[in-house]
Chain A
Amino acid sequence: MAAKAASSSIVRPDLLGRAALDAFAKLNPAALMRNPVIFVTEVVAAVVTVLFLRDLLAGNPLLFTGQITAWLWFTVLFANFAEAIAEGRGRAQADSLRKARTDTVAKRLSDRANRAQWKPVSALDLKVGDHVLVETGDFVPGDGEIVEGIASVNEAAVTGESAPVIREAGGDRSAVTGGTTVVSDWLVVRITAAPGSSFLDRMIALVEGAERQKTPNELALTILLVGMTLIFLVAVVTLTGFSAYAGAAISVPVLVALLVTLIPTTIGGLLSAIGIAGMDRLIRHNVLAMSGRAVEAAGDVDTLLLDKTGTITFGNRMAAEIVAVQGVTDVEAAQIAVQASLADETAEGRSILVLARDAYGIAVPDAQPAGVTFIPFSAATRLSGVDMDGRRIRKGAVDAVRRFVRESAGREVAEPAAFTAAVERIAKSGGTPLGLAENGRFIGVIHLKDVVKPDIKERFAELRRMGIRTVMVTGDNPVTAAAIAGEAGVDDFIAEATPQDKLNYIRNEQRQGRLVAMCGDGTNDAPALAQADVGVAMQTGTQAAREAGNMVDLDSDPTKLIEIVGIGKQLLMTRGSLTTFSIANDVAKYFAIIPALFIAAIPELGVLNVMGLATPESAILSAVIFNALVIVALIPLALKGVPYRAMGAAAVLRRNLLVYGLGGILVPFLGIKLIDLAVSAFGLA
């Protein structure tokens, strides 16, 4: 996807112009109702505008009311602007996605068995259940399931990855996505999504934010913000009564200024931008969340179910050591192992060469030496190796090697104790022993093991500090699984896992009130993906898996689950931090405005003017200006998210409370004072 190449800068200059225009379009009150705090700001801004116009007609002094009016509107516009910028990024991506969706011509088959009989129809006219033929160079006209054929497909339009992937009928690679291109061969595809509801359509809608609904937590926060707005509305409206009693009548623009600075406009203005940016962060990690709810749930995850292969270990087993039998030196054994593997193109074979070179210092020839016959691995012999100069070197399953030695020698050969011991030890440790023999002689044992990714243990420790349990899921037997689990430092593992086991494990965790995240790709993962609170389906997976999950990873990288959790947490942290900041700001605003309101009637209240603001008008104006500008100043933070580190909750809280709570109290004192200096320097009030 285009997003993958997107620059890392938060605010793209090319999007600013459009966002500024959108900010005005969003003034439409019907749309702004979704954001109650800013809606209230707009309403009172309109009221003050009317008063300003009245003053204009009556020829009253305009400087103060005019400025207040302007800054109130700026407050609304800045909030709209924040949202528009967040949306703008998604829209740019949606535009590039749309290009892939241009109406292609589909080759509809009237009889799925007869590939010669197709009629050209517009992709938009396809119905679920139609069969289409897709040949080399064709766009896949819609989401579907391959019923026949095998082809390499370029999915760059969706995943951004230009190397073609193989898609074939049957199994876990049978799904194709509309908008991708067949590069070679052909497929017969049964359409599974109606035009307009395909994966690409959903992607476009998601990145555009068209279907954006308030997430549960966003809703709860909005309720709190509405509550605070109401409280301040009560405080400000009743103040008219008290000030009338005290003989300190307050003008409406000033009351409105007080109200707008007190209600949580900062978080109110940035709330939806934070949510959109959270989704956007996922998209930049090439993960599509089907709902904002899923992103929030990711922050709450207590248990991560991780597939062993690919996430915790590299995909393949690798040679870890070479054990020689008595009478053979390690180097000799390694040399023989290299010869046995020279022509072996498997990952395991290559890993033996790497091990021999790195651990035993053996020079590995680049090319296969002449006069050598390569004996490839076969399921029948379970051996591979080479024949050279009468030497027959083999490596393979231990039983097969024993048989090979016996047959080569033509008699029973006593198995060296070191061989037996190494085989036992390796099997017990969860590794795979690979026998090595030359003619009728045992040479040694190669220890193949699942290699745990180098940094994964630290990642898990990090997760543990954040209170997240990791569970390894593997088809291995319990001994092997336990060994790898111990090495990787996971908290628990499910060995010999069946889809039902996974489902049961998830249900059990959920019964204890834990939220579970997992990823999967196969059709039999679908129930567990659907059950999990965060189910990440791999883009390479089956249609069933992709529909069961609430996120799709376009890179099909199971490790990404960890990043997804981080993104969810960061989203919530950003929301909480800016809310705290917004509320804490009010303290300083009171000290700016309250003395200004009453100083005429009660001069002694001047002691509350701790900031030493120049005049009552400049104090009020400065507070309003600060209140508007702080929204703009915080847009980058809202979009980027607050810095996120893997720490325990207590440490995170202490840090954020200090930065955003205490900072939120102190910053406006400084900001308002500076603005006041500027306002009075320019003679604005």
Chain B
Amino acid sequence: MTLVGWLQILVILAAVVAFAVPLGAYMSKVFAGERTILAPVLGPVERGVHRLAGVDPAREQTWLGYTLGMLAFNAGGFLLLYLLLRLQGVLPLNPQGFPGLSPHLAFNTAVSFVTNTNWQSYGGETTMSHLSQMAGLTVQNFLSAATGMALAVALVRAFARSAAPTVGNFFADMIRATLYVLLPLAIVTGLWQVAMGTPQTLDASVSVETLEGGEQTLALGPVASQLAIKQLGTNGGGFFNANSAHPFENPSPLSNALTIWQMLVVSTALVFAFGRLIGDKRQARAILATMGLLLLAGIGLCYWAESAGTPVLAAAGLDPAGGNMEGKEVRFGLAASALFAAVTTGLSDGAVNAMHGSFTPIGGMVPMVLMMLGEILPGGVGSGLYGILVIAVVAVFVAGLMVGRTPEYLGKKIEAKEMKMAVLAILILPTAILGFSALSAVLPVALSGLGNAGPHGLSEIYYAYTSAAGNNGSAFGGLSANAPWWNTTLGLAMLLGRFAYIVPMMAIAGSLVAKTRLAPSAGTFPTHGPLFVGLLAGIILVLGGLQFFPALALGPIAEQVQMLAGKTF
């Protein structure tokens, strides 16, 4: 590790927080339905969309109505995308003449983009037509992120409101999230990416003569427009197979910094918006501090592990001071790769600028664990906030009793109904990850897709299902996932991780919104300040750690200790 490396990391994170504060203030206005500076431009557009779609923003929905509206909308989005992908061969804007996708790949991909996962069992430049990329994937990049934001806002309202029947209007919230937050940011940062060298064209490819005199075909397309929302919406699905390691997606260290900033900024700002919406910024700071603490720990561990390198590389005659550069782009280096890996997994983004499977076992375990902790550090756009709020409810329940009152969070009493739903929600991740992984660890049909034997192969399995169920979408590498077993089960894991979590989460919102919001007193469990930060971080680590420790012991931990003993797979 170097000082410059750490400075790089801290400067980028500081830039995120610096912009997230005003953005959060702006977003809190957007979701409170107040007038914002963009109203003169976007107000008429918004009203037009409302008229077209028949949405009356004043008509609020109960949690059930909100949830059903969201499910119906996403089911529609899935169907459209599925059809588009299956039929792309006969549809226009297909300069390379790609055929339609196989049923299992189309299912997997459509689920993947609707659930904000962006797991890609395919290589973009060799599979997807421009139409699929633009009208299919990019559209879902916006809508899945907006869906997440709307859901988070509904849960925040459940805390903020006192004895109210409704949590908002899903369609109005989603339209606002798209129009006022995602579109302007995507336009501005997309143009910046074009300026830094990312292509934006409807051409298929160019042929260039290489230095050796050979000929090379470089795939092109509407890259920048998809790239901006890929990161802003914590989607992470690359235009190209190599994702953010590809020089067109991520040409330079500066674009790398912008890319990391893009992924973090909306989720971070949403936490600040949460503080304003509930009228207590200290609560938001505590949540953000928890996220930051754990994320920094993850970055640090990964950076350390990669800098330490491996005895195997040293034995091969490489300078140990260089660390483990396998699978990393030299233009980014160790620090920016470790930062990217931790951020993309702490965030449920899933873009990668290095191959996580080539990290040292512990370095590669960090992104895996960050996903296993629930994609809440700070998590996907919206999903991170509602995820950590559900965990906070559990944390407050466990520890809150210790102050001698029935637990309450943000002035709402946490009772049997909330616990039931919170428990259902937190059961989803371990069940989906461990359940599918265990099956895949013994079924020959699954094992044939592994790229490595031994504990590394097990890590490939864990990583795939963790990435899917956590709606992250990043890949470990090594796994040949474009096969019926993997496409189908990963698709199911994505659906479970997204919607089976959302329904109980929204049930909590419905139960909380109806409760009277209590004023805090000296006897109230304090949910701001370092004590709560430590508690919440502890619960996240213990809860996540306890679930996955046995599995990890056989995967990356076993691989690390064996690697140190000179054994590789």
Contacts and interface: CB of A to CB of B under 8 A. Distances in A.
Q: What is the interface residue range for chain B against chain A?
A: 35 or more
Given A235-B547, A604-B562, A648 B522 contact: yes
Interface in B251-283: none
Nearest to A595: B553
Contacts of A243: 554
Contacts of A466: 404, 522-523
Given A223-B416, A231-B430, A302-B523, A653 B399 contact: yes
Interface stretch (B38-46, B289-297, B435-443): B435-443
A579 B434 contact: no
A246 interface: yes
A513 B406 contact: no
Nearest to A262: B546
B65 interface: no
A587 B405 contact: no
Interface in B393-411: 394, 397-406, 411
A120 B531 CA distance: 69
Contacts of B455: 246, 602
A649 B522 contact: yes
A238 B437 contact: yes
Contacts of B551: 235, 238-239, 242
Contacts of A237: 438
A354 interface: no
A568 B565 CA distance: 56
Interface string B389-432: 00000100111111111100001001110111011101100110
Interface stretch (A52-60, A102-110, A656-664): A656-664
B521 A572 contact: no
A525 interface: no
A299 B406 contact: yes
A650 B521 contact: no
A368 to B, nearest CB: 54
A605 interface: yes
A514 interface: yes
A234 B435 contact: yes
Contacts of B404: 299, 466, 568-570, 572-573, 644, 649, 652
Interface string B510-551: 000000111101111110010100010010001001111111
A573 to B, nearest CB: 4
B458 interface: yes
Contact of B441 (A245, A262, A465, A590): A245
Interface in A556-590: 568-570, 572-573, 575-577, 579-580, 583-584, 586-587, 590
Contact of A217 (B401, B430, B517, B525): B401
Contacts of A302: 518, 521, 523
A240 B437 CA distance: 11
A375 B55 CA distance: 88
A650 B535 CA distance: 12
A145 to B, nearest CB: 37
A465 B525 CA distance: 13
A245 B442 contact: yes
B405 A569 contact: yes
Contact of B402 (A241, A465, A576): A576
A231 B437 contact: no
Given A242-B441, A604-B565, A605-B553, A657 B523 contact: no
Nearest to A227: B423
A522 B188 CA distance: 73
A117 B67 CA distance: 73
A468 interface: yes
Interface string A216-247: 11011101101100111011111111111110
Contacts of B415: 216-217, 220
B427 A230 contact: yes
Contact of A572 (B405, B431, B441, B535): B405
A608 B419 contact: no
A590 B541 CA distance: 14
A597 B420 CA distance: 33
B553 A513 contact: no
Contacts of A572: 401, 404-406
B522 A467 contact: yes
A98 interface: no
B282 to A, nearest CB: 13
B441 to A, nearest CB: 4
A569 B411 CA distance: 18
Contacts of B174: none
Contact of B558 (A511, A568, A602, A656): A602
Best-surrounded residue of A220, A248, A598 (most CB of chain B within 10 A): A220
Residue of B526, B531, B546, B548 most packed against chain A (CB within 10 A): B546
A221 B397 CA distance: 8
Given A217-B415, A234-B430, A580 B399 contact: yes
Nearest to B457: A245
Contacts of A654: 531
B554 A512 contact: no
B399 A576 contact: yes
Contact of B561 (A514, A577, A587, A602): A602
A232 to B, nearest CB: 7
Contact of A650 (B416, B529, B555): B529
Nearest to B440: A241
Interface string A654-685: 10110011000000000000000000000000
A63 to B, nearest CB: 25
Contact of A464 (B435, B458, B522): B522
A587 B543 CA distance: 10
Interface in A232-287: 232, 234-246, 248, 258, 262
Nearest to A241: B438
B296 to A, nearest CB: 22
B557 interface: yes
Given A604-B564, A653-B399, A653-B403, A241 B442 contact: yes
Interface string A326-340: 000000000000000
Contacts of B442: 241, 244-245
A580 B465 CA distance: 30
Contacts of B525: 649, 653
Given A579-B398, A649-B405, A241 B441 contact: yes
Nearest to B455: A246
B401 A231 contact: no
Nearest to B400: A576
A296 interface: yes
Contact of A657 (B437, B518, B531): B531
A653 B458 CA distance: 41
Given A598-B554, A657-B402, A245 B546 contact: no
A602 B562 contact: yes
A42 interface: no
B558 A604 contact: yes
Nearest to B567: A604
Interface in A134-170: none
B96 to A, nearest CB: 40
Contacts of B555: 242
19 contacts: A216-B406, A219-B416, A227-B424, A234-B427, A236-B550, A241-B441, A241-B442, A244-B441, A245-B442, A246-B558, A514-B519, A572-B401, A575-B401, A584-B542, A586-B546, A649-B522, A653-B399, A653-B526, A661-B399
Interface of B: 162, 394, 397-406, 411, 414-416, 418-420, 422-424, 426-427, 430-431, 434-435, 437-439, 441-442, 455, 457-458, 516-519, 521-526, 529, 531, 535, 538, 542, 545-551, 553-555, 557-558, 561-562, 564-565, 567
Interface of A: 216-217, 219-221, 223-224, 226-227, 230-232, 234-246, 248, 258, 262, 296, 299-300, 302, 464-469, 511-514, 568-570, 572-573, 575-577, 579-580, 583-584, 586-587, 590, 594-595, 597-598, 602, 604-605, 607-608, 644, 648-650, 652-654, 656-657, 660-661
Nearest 4 interchain pairs by C-beta: A467-B523, A576-B401, A241-B438, A569-B404
